């Protein structure tokens, strides 16, 4: 009986140790998308040993400040339930702006690394032009502040102060982007506008905005950055 009790105690301690060493990755999709758009990342992160938490949030319904609190709050709660040692973020487009908004005023002791995919860190000129088009309001209040003017969310956000790797795309298949965006772009965001003061790594890959998060090489680069703090040299 005594041997059995000792064995069960040791087993319990091992399970607790394994849980506390687990690292969590919160996945945040982009505007007008759902968590299914990040499912390839979710699967491969899980196979790489991470606890992947793929969040759906109503990106067209609320303002960025509310979306950040609501979506990231749910992600952190899911990570906390598993007693993880670190919390990372992998985001697409608008999802990266939610992380910047949240971490601009909040401190996370367990914060690990962040990878942003195609983030409009300096806004996008497509919003400046398209917001005048009938039906634009259907994209909601968050879309309205993703432009480059003084009313954009970026005029309020400062430099990032966390470990950040940014992946930009340079494949343009959007005729409007060819008219309105200057320089290389991913059909929505220019390569230059993905940059933000304070980032640690920046990588450009031949991917387009709407489907970049399904690209195998991009996923490999994302996982490598989360584990090492560096992208794989090209």
Rounded CA-CA distance 218/208 in Å is: 11
Closest to 42 measured CA to CA, from 24, 69, 22 = 24
The candidate with the shortest Cα–Cα distance to 25, out of 102, 157, 114, is: 114
Q: Using 50, 70 and 90 to split pLDDT, how confident is the model at 179? A: confident
Lowest mean pLDDT among 16-30, 131-145, 183-197: 16-30
Q: Which position has the higher pLDDT, 169 or 134?
A: 169
What pLDDT shows up at residue 12?
Answer: 46
Query: Is the pLDDT confidence value at 204 over 70?
Result: yes
Mean pLDDT of the chain: 91
In this prediction, residue 139 carries a pLDDT of 93
Band of pLDDT at residue 71, cut at 50, 70 and 90: very high
The domain locations on the chain are: 17-228
Per-residue pLDDT, 21: 83
Q: What's the pLDDT at 135?
A: 87
pLDDT at 20: 59
Distance between CA atoms of residues 217 and 145, nearest Å: 31
Q: In the prediction, which pLDDT does 11 show? A: 44
**Range 127-140 average pLDDT:** 88
Per-residue exposure over 33-44, b if at least 16 CB sit within 10 Å of its own CB, e if not: beeebbbbbbeb
Prediction pTM value: 0.90
- What is the phi-psi region of residue 187: left when phi exceeds 0, alpha when psi lies from -120 to 50, beta otherwise? left
2-57 confidence digits (pLDDT tens):
545 444 444 444 444 444 589 999 999 999 999 999 999 999 999 999 999 999 99
Model confidence at 75: pLDDT above 60:
yes
The percentage of residues in the chain with a pLDDT greater than 70, rounded to a whole number, is 91
Q: Could you count the other beta carbons within 10 Å of the beta carbon of residue 134?
A: 6
Instruction: Please give the pLDDT value at position 9.
Output: 41
Decide which of 1.20.120.1200, 3.30.160.20, 3.40.50.1820, 3.50.50.60 is the CATH code for 17-228: 3.40.50.1820
């Amino acid at each position: 009986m005594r041997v059995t009790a000792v064995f069960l105690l040791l087993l319990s301690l091992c399970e607790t140790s394994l849980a506390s060493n687990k690292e969590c990755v919160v996945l945040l999709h982009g505007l007008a998308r759902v968590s299914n758009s990040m499912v390839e990342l979710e699967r491969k992160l899980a196979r790489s040993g991470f606890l992947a938490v793929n969040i759906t949030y109503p990106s067209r319904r609320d303002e960025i400040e509310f979306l950040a609190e609501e979506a990231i709050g749910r992600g952190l709660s899911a990570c906390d339930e598993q007693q993880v040692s670190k919390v990372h973020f992998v985001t697409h487009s608008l999802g990266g702006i939610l992380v910047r908004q949240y971490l601009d005023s909040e401190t996370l002791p367990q914060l690990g690394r962040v990878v942003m995919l195609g983030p409009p860190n300096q806004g996008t000129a497509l919003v400046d032009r398209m917001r005048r088009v009938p039906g634009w309001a259907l994209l909601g209040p968050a879309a309205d502040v993703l432009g480059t003017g003084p009313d954009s969310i970026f005029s309020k956000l400062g430099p990032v102060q966390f470990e950040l790797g940014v992946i930009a795309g340079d494949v343009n298949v959007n005729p409007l982007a060819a008219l309105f965006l200057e320089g290389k772009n991913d059909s929505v965001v220019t390569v230059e506008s993905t940059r933000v003061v304070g980032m640690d790594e920046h990588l450009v890959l031949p991917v387009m905005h709407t489907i970049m998060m399904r690209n195998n090489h991009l996923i490999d680069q994302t996982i490598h950055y989360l584990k090492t703090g560096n992208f794989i040299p090209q």
